[in-house]
Amino acid sequence: MTSPTTGRATRTPRRSPAAPADAGRLSPAGVAKEPGTARIAVDLLGGDDAPAVVVDGALRAMRADPDLHLLLVGPTKVAGELIDALDPAQRNRVTVRPAHTAVDMADDPTAARAESTVRAAAAAVRAGQADALVSAGSTGATVTAAALGLGRWPEVRRPALAAALPALSGPVVLLDVGGSLEPGPATLARHAVLGAAYAAVAHGLAAPRVGLLSVGTEPGKGDRARRLADPVLSTVALPAGARYVGLVEGYDVCLGTRADVVVTDGFTGNVLLKAVEGAYAMAGGPPPGGEAPRAAALLGVAGTVVVCHGAAQPDDIASGIALAARLWRRNATDRVAALLAGDRTDRTTDTEVRTS
């Protein structure tokens, strides 16, 4: 294992010319605020402490963003409690879609096929009743509902969850953080493409550097999946002028000096994400000017979908809603899809490159 770079990095985050000038201005929820109306469908029954936490978080998001409209998907009584807590003027920005079935964290993700709250929220986005979906419920169920309700992009077999971590040198996009637990080399390569495009669009990074998470930076390091994926990624044509820098290690996620996008499987990514969040808590917070990742964007589906932790607290829900609104206002989904349409990724499937 190589040694990490010591000392504070001084590299200035590289933004593309298309990045909005006010991209760094934060709302109370901790996510950059940009103008324009955004209609967000919120799964009221998603999360360990739903609906109370979701209602509280939605209230905070509403009060922080005067251009935010919410479609509350869940029991009418729960939605009514949120509406009653709003000022009369704010109530005009809230509508309700009744749904009463929640997908429990222990349920099989296919439970999202039924008329659950998360499936109803996805249906609302597809029908044009909302611009984006936010849920703190079962990740598997949310991914399933989004894939079935909104459809997947061409060449994307398994969508990925991408979280932005505040590294010392600027934001680092980590994916997958829970969408696909055991991807093959071709899926990891596709996720590299998704991550590069997302970093360029959502974070304004010019020519993002993409790395594959492993236990060392030397070629051949890592388990069988990493050893197979490394040469595949080295031949992939990445969008937005991105380039593959090879294998990276865990500290590169926090330093940001070697890679702007770090690709890994959903199991490892989820564990790493929560470990980093725990480290922030022990250290009294993330690096100066950064915000702890409270939500992740689902990449690879034909719509804007944001997933919060199951253990999300009100500020986490508010941050997730703010992230969904920001992505919609930036037209991020369409812009990422447009970048993908022009890439020349090798179309090898995971069934053609086995890891065992």
**Residues 221, 307 share a domain:** no
**Residues 289, 162 share a domain:** yes
Per-residue pLDDT tens over the stretch 179-198: 989 999 999 999 999 999 99
What values do phi and psi take at 13, rounded to 5?
-55, 135
User: pLDDT band at 33, cuts 50/70/90?
Assistant: low
**Residues 269, 317 share a domain:** no
Residue 284 lies in a domain: yes
User: pLDDT band at 353, cuts 50/70/90?
Assistant: very low
User: pLDDT band at 11, cuts 50/70/90?
Assistant: very low
Q: What is the pLDDT of residue 278?
A: 87
**Residues 101, 38 share a domain:** yes
Q: What is the pLDDT of residue 214?
A: 94
User: CA-based Rg of the chain, rounded to a whole angstrom?
Assistant: 19
Share the mean pLDDT of the chain: 83
Q: How far is CA 13 from CA 60, 124, 129, 183, 195, in A?
A: 30, 37, 37, 30, 17
Count of domains observed in the chain: 2
Per-residue pLDDT tens over the stretch 202-231: 999 989 999 999 999 888 888 898 999 999
Per-residue pLDDT tens over the stretch 73-119: 998 888 888 888 888 888 889 999 988 876 665 555 555 556 789 99
**Residues 263, 141 share a domain:** no
pLDDT at 159 over 90: yes
Residue 264 lies in a domain: yes
Per-residue pLDDT tens over the stretch 234-287: 999 999 999 999 999 999 998 989 999 999 999 999 999 999 888 888 888 887
**Residues 262, 143 share a domain:** no
**Residues 147, 32 share a domain:** yes
What would the two tokens of residue 38 be? Answer: 């955004």
* Residue keyed to tokens 């590289």: 14
Percent of the chain with pLDDT over 90: 52
Q: What is the pLDDT of residue 270?
A: 94
**Residues 189, 282 share a domain:** yes
**Per the confidence metrics, is the pTM higher than 0.75?**
yes
**Residues 137, 225 share a domain:** no
Q: Where residue 122 sits, what CATH number does that domain have?
A: 3.40.718.10
As beta bridge partners, residue 74 has 98
Number of C-beta neighbours around residue 143 at 10 A: 26
Per-residue pLDDT tens over the stretch 55-71: 899 999 999 999 999 99
User: pLDDT band at 342, cuts 50/70/90?
Assistant: confident
**Residues 138, 68 share a domain:** yes
pLDDT at 174 over 90: yes
Tell me which residue range forms the domain holding 305.
27-156+300-331
Residue 350 lies in a domain: no
**Residues 99, 79 share a domain:** yes
